[in-house]
Amino acid sequence: MSKIKLSKEFIRNTVKLALNEDLYPSGDITSGLIKNDKIVTVKLLSNQNAIIGGLLFAKQAFALIDSKIKFIIKKKDGSKIKKGSLVALIKGNAKNILIAERVALNFLSHISGIATKTNAFVKLAGKKTKICCTRKTIPNELKNILYAENEIFNTPFSLEVINHKDETKLYTKLDLDFAKLQIENILNYKDDIKSGAATILFNTDKSLINYKTNKNFFEFNYSNELESKKFLYNGKFNFKPFYSSLEGDAEEINVSYLFGTNAIVAELLKTEIFNNKNLDFKLNIYASKIKNNRNFTNLFLKSKIQEGLIDIDNTKLEWKDNSLIKLTDTLIFVRDGTLFLEGKSKIKITNAKNIYKFLLTPKNFRKNIKTIDFNFSYSFNEKAIILNGIMIDGKYNQKVNSNLNNIYFRGSSRQNKIFLKNMINDLLKFYSG
């Protein structure tokens, strides 16, 4: 399991803040009673059985006051010590040792206290239970520091939390090494409206979240770090009254993450958890590409949840720059455990010549078609679609509607591509009479 390692710079800055607080505004008055040239050797002894911790912080306190002071460590951090044990020897100018000793001992006693008490908890918990984290207040401009490294659900993690009292900022860092995931967050909590920034590093991908929040709302923007943004999302959650929205632009979208078999969104929709009349949610996403599908482009997905109903009305996409597809009067619902999407579709043909060329349509079937309208019912579970009310250029054709009714998509994209070509050519054949 990974361990949290504190950098020398972090320890130095932390101790420096503590010394500034301790010596402000008049310095150490007591040390003024000691001669400047007096050199002493001081023994640092334990006053109880304990787990020692914080030696590097104590050493740094003396070093910042007087670099000539020698702090000779006799026990290792994390080791068990008995009452009266020699923890360290301190040699140097007596006056400077006295100036630093209060801050040094504060760090040493607080961190050792945490380690000792945690060790007692570990013994009580036994082997089957692990202590997740500990917290202790220290005298410093840093109000609280929390460190934890452990496992939760057999997942190793490390967590660092620092509360900067003087700057009214909360810093957190979470590491999940096995997943190559790291999340860092800085929250500014000074004002009524809190603001923050989070950095997410997953493998080699880095993304950023900036947000604002108070008791009534939470709003954010989420993007990748590159100058040419691959994605940018803006969202808002209002709590009183409750409503939420999410809008975004992406270079590419993976629709299977939303509605594919076993996709989280699809599974949640099946539970009907979103069919709540108190929910008010809007989702608008534009993507120039669709993952694993080069035929469809420029998807503008518009969805909303209102009054317990879910729809994707006015969603649009293009097919090979030759036609524009628009969905209206849609409804997503569950029937007998199966997820359905029903609605109307309008296909506007912008380049019939290229479509016929792509479909290898026989020349005698190549009519000058402008629009195709139809009603549909799509089953996500069965990957099947039922069409009815098919209108070509505003006219109903009985042959087309009789022969193009139930459509079942195959397992692979190649099979579906061939299947759709044949289906559309059959439609043109029936329409041509």
The predicted structure's pLDDT at residue 151? 61
Q: How many residues does the chain have?
A: 433
SS3 label, residue 57: helix
Instruction: Give the whole-number percent of the chain exceeding pLDDT 90.
Output: 40
Average pLDDT rounded to a whole number, residues 33-61: 92
CA–CA separation, 421 and 64 (whole Å) = 77
120/148 same-domain check: no
CA–CA separation, 5 and 15 (whole Å) = 16
In terms of Cα–Cα distance, which of 132, 197, 137, 182 is closest to 162? 137
335/238 same-domain check: yes
31/56 same-domain check: yes
Q: Which residues of 144-168 are buried (b: 16+ CB within 10 A; e: fewer)?
A: ebebbbeeeeeeebbbbbbbbeeee
The predicted structure's pLDDT at residue 421? 81
The predicted structure's pLDDT at residue 410? 55
159/106 same-domain check: no
Residue 127 has pLDDT above 50, yes or no: yes
Average pLDDT rounded to a whole number, residues 135-160: 60
Q: What's the chain's Rg over C-alpha atoms?
A: 34
Task: Dump pLDDT digits (tens) for 179-200.
Answer: 788 899 999 988 888 999 999 9
- Confidence class of residue 122 from pLDDT cuts 50, 70 and 90? confident
- Could you say which of 128, 152, 180 is where a domain stops? 128
- Confidence class of residue 94 from pLDDT cuts 50, 70 and 90? very high
Average pLDDT across the chain, whole number: 84
- Could you say which of 206, 235, 256 is where a domain stops? 206
| Number of domains comprising the chain | 3
Average pLDDT rounded to a whole number, residues 6-22: 87
218/172 same-domain check: no
Higher pLDDT, 153 or 165: 165
CATH code, domain with 88: 3.90.1170.20
Residue 362 has pLDDT above 80, yes or no: yes
42/97 same-domain check: yes
- Could you say which of 100, 128, 156 is where a domain stops? 128
Average pLDDT rounded to a whole number, residues 257-272: 78
- Confidence class of residue 142 from pLDDT cuts 50, 70 and 90? very low
179/218 same-domain check: no
Within a domain: residue 407? Answer: yes
118/164 same-domain check: no
CA–CA separation, 400 and 103 (whole Å) = 87
198/219 same-domain check: no
186/212 same-domain check: no
162/258 same-domain check: no
Task: Dump pLDDT digits (tens) for 66-91.
Answer: 999 999 999 999 999 999 999 999 99
The predicted structure's pLDDT at residue 297? 92
Higher pLDDT, 80 or 156: 80
Confidence (pTM):
0.59
Within a domain: residue 135? Answer: no
Average pLDDT rounded to a whole number, residues 378-400: 86
Average pLDDT rounded to a whole number, residues 285-290: 92
The predicted structure's pLDDT at residue 131? 61
The predicted structure's pLDDT at residue 226? 62
Tokens in use for 268? Answer: 């949640």
194/214 same-domain check: no
Within a domain: residue 3? Answer: no
Residue 400, classified by CB atoms within 10 Å of its CB into exposed (0-12), middle (13-18) or buried (19+), is buried
Instruction: Give the whole-number percent of the chain exceeding pLDDT 70.
Output: 86
The predicted structure's pLDDT at residue 133? 56
Range of the domain at 154: 141-206
Residue 140 has pLDDT above 50, yes or no: no
Within a domain: residue 290? Answer: yes
The predicted structure's pLDDT at residue 2? 43
Average pLDDT rounded to a whole number, residues 207-222: 92
- Confidence class of residue 407 from pLDDT cuts 50, 70 and 90? low
Please report, for residues 7, 93, 101, 161, the alpha-carbon distance to residue 62 in angstroms, rounded to integers and kept in the order given: 18, 10, 7, 26
Residue 323 has pLDDT above 90, yes or no: yes
Within a domain: residue 146? Answer: yes
Within a domain: residue 55? Answer: yes
